[in-house]
Amino acid sequence: MSQSVSIAVVGSGYVGLVAAACFAEIGHRVVCVDNDEAKVRMLREGGIPIHEEYLPELLNRHRENRVEFTSDLRKATQGAQAIFIAVGTPQSETGSADLSYVDAVASEIARSIDGYKVIVEKSTVPVYTNEWICRVIERNGVSREMFDVASNPEFLREGTAVTDFLHADRIVLGAETPRAAEVLGAIYEPLSSGEYYRSANAVPGPRTSDDPPPVLLTSTKAAEIIKHASNALLATKISFINVVANICESAGADVQEVAKGIGMDTRIGPKFLRAGIGYGGSCFPKDVAAFRHVAEQMGVEFGLLGEVEKINSEQRRRFFRKVRSALWTFRGKKIAVLGLAFKGGTDDIRESPAVDIVQWMLKEGATVTAYDPAAAARASEVLPAGPQMKYADDAYAAAQDADALLILNDWQEFAELDLKRLHYTLRYPIVVDGRNLYDPAKMAEMGFTYLSVGRPGISHTRDAAVGPRLV
């Protein structure tokens, strides 16, 4: 039977809150700290600030029993054996990670230390951050044997965060001392031993008691680099396939066939080869920039990452130009938009390509009616509703009398539209799909002018792109 560990998680964002809920789920006692009083109040009252599958169930299961919420960092950390730092590490003006929240939290932890603690970096941080945290804590008068700083990077994806956490590909533990490694090992023991997967209420996923996630024990620095390098490599894969898509588009080939052919090579693998309008979100853009900055600081030339970023920002512009050329001009056009979050399955609009594209269309005089199953409330903070910008309650309401429909993220329901209904709802049956959710031949058969990314564009009729709908 695994032992229960007392844990404090500082920062209740996507990473902190999910980690806290999952630590409770695997049997630990967790205090979640956040300096946003309103968020703490909401969490205490049973509210959940983010859209994440299984998170409500887990928090309901463990609230007031194994998880509590507070804004009092001192109280939370004093009883804890391990303190996870999961505050934001946003991009600063220079592209490097802004570590001021981590710095502030480290000082505050130092002032509350009352016994040996393992302080764990959970946020994505540049290599050497662990040494800085050590220095900050020592500067506050805490002796070295009272604490260790370890790194336990988190690889969860938004939308599937709980499953990713509990059914991880790997658990990376970066620690410098046996006692830090021991505490971290005990925290993950219910997963690494397979015990969790035998419990009746376990969140379902690919891992089983016979195939639990492997633990990789590394140095703290290696763990820090593993996180940055993983995100940078995934972003590179996406930019790579997007350029290949653009080649396919000119050559008249289908990038999905090409991606399938590349991905069948087990050395490459099929994942993260979906061409589209580029990556967004709170991690890839900031982590690619931060890793490039880390390389620079180490005196290493990593121009590749600059190219990855350039390709990524060009991809959404290219898509925007594609829409414009299908419509001739945006002024006075009514555009339906499906998807505002940076991908399907989340309400997060940080660095969302969809938001940029909508903004550019509005600037060129289009009227936009958008639908996203979860992100409308957040999107309306940057794209306020008004005469030019409207929000609809479903895909068909967004499509009503529109001159074209754009698909900008990949919610499952966007791939399952009633195409007949969509056809007669739109003013012109033009669909520009930034996520390749439909088969071009099927769309043509259904009477649509259908443009996607890296696949031959197909028109139902030669002039369907500008002409009225044929009934």
Per-residue tokens: 199: 């419990």
- Asked if 12 is part of the footprint of ligand UDX (rule: CB under 6 A), the reply reads yes
Within 234-293, the residues that bind ligand UDX by CB under 6 A are: 234, 238, 272-274, 276, 279-284
Residue nearest to ligand UDX (CB): 13
State yes or no: residue 11 binds ligand UDX (CB under 6 A).
yes
* Residue closer to ligand UDX, measured from CB, 152 or 282: 282
Tokens of 141: 């008068």
Our CB check for ligand UDX shows the closer of 339 and 429 to be: 339
Q: How far is the CB of 417 from ligand UDX (least distance, A)?
A: 19
Residue range at the interface with ligand UDX (CB under 6 A); choices 10-18, 22-30, 199-207, 453-461: 10-18
In the complex, minimum distance from the CB of residue 37 to ligand UDX, in angstroms, rounded to a whole number = 10
Which of 19, 156, 202, 232 is close enough to bind ligand UDX by CB under 6 A?
A: 156
83 binds ligand UDX (CB under 6 A): no
Q: Site for ligand UDX (CB under 6 A): which residue of 96, 124, 367, 452?
A: 124
Q: Which of 309, 403 has the CB closer to ligand UDX? A: 309
Catalytic residues: 283
The nearer residue to ligand UDX, 292 or 333, going by C-beta atoms, is: 292
Smallest distance, Å, CB 314 to ligand UDX?
14
* Partners of residue 458 on adjacent β-strands: 450
Alpha-carbon distances, residue 210 vs 147, 192, 207 (angstroms): 35, 10, 8
x-or-dash pattern for ligand UDX, window 40-79, by CB under 6 A?
----------------------------------------
| 123: contact with ligand UDX by CB under 6 A | yes
Q: In terms of CB distance, is 170 or 179 closer to ligand UDX?
A: 170
Task: Compute the least distance from the CB of residue 258 to ligand UDX, in Å.
Answer: 13
CA angle 375, 379, 382 (to 5 degrees): 165
- Judged on CB neighbours under 10 Å (0-12, 13-18, 19+), 148 is buried
Closest approach of ligand UDX to the CB of residue 388, in Å: 25
CB of 250 to ligand UDX, least distance (A): 20
Residues 6+ apart with CB under 8 A from 71: 33, 34, 35, 36, 37, 40
Classify the C-alpha dihedral 72-73-78-83 as positive or negative: positive
Minimum CB separation of residue 354 from ligand UDX in Å reads: 9
Smallest separation, CB 265 to ligand UDX (Å): 16
Q: What type of residue sits at position 319?
A: F
Token reading at 307: 């190219």
Q: Which of residues 136-155 bind ligand UDX (CB under 6 A)?
A: 154-155
Q: Which residues contact 403 (CB under 8 A, 6 or more apart)?
A: 327, 333, 334, 335, 426, 427, 428, 430
**Helix pair angle (255-263, 220-251), 10° resolution:** 140
- Under the criterion CB under 6 A, does residue 35 sit at the interface with ligand UDX? yes
Shortest CA distance to 50 belongs to which of 19, 75, 94, 72? 19
Nearer to ligand UDX (CB atom), residue 32 or residue 426: 32
**Terminal-to-terminal C-alpha distance of the chain:** 67
Amino acid found at 273: L
Tell me the backbone φ, ψ of residue 239, rounded to 5 degrees.
-65, -40
Q: Which is nearer to ligand UDX, 283 or 327 (CB)?
A: 283
Does the footprint of ligand UDX cover residue 101 (CB under 6 A)? yes
Is residue 231 a contact point for ligand UDX (CB under 6 A)?
Answer: yes
104 is a contact residue toward ligand UDX (CB under 6 A): yes
Q: Does position 89 bind ligand UDX by CB under 6 A?
A: yes
Residues binding ligand UDX: number (CB under 6 A): 40
Stretch binding ligand UDX (CB under 6 A), from 12-20, 189-197, 384-392, 446-454:
12-20
Interface mask toward ligand UDX for 321-360; x: CB under 6 A:
---------------------xx-----------------
State the minimum distance, in angstroms, from the CB of residue 35 to ligand UDX: 4
The span of 40-48, 80-88, 132-140, 382-390 binding ligand UDX (CB under 6 A) equals 80-88
- Interface pick for ligand UDX out of 8, 14, 203, 405 (rule CB under 6 A): 14
In the complex, the residues that contact ligand UDX under the rule CB under 6 A are 10-16, 34-36, 39, 86-89, 101, 104-105, 123-124, 154-158, 231, 234, 238, 272-274, 276, 279-284, 342-343
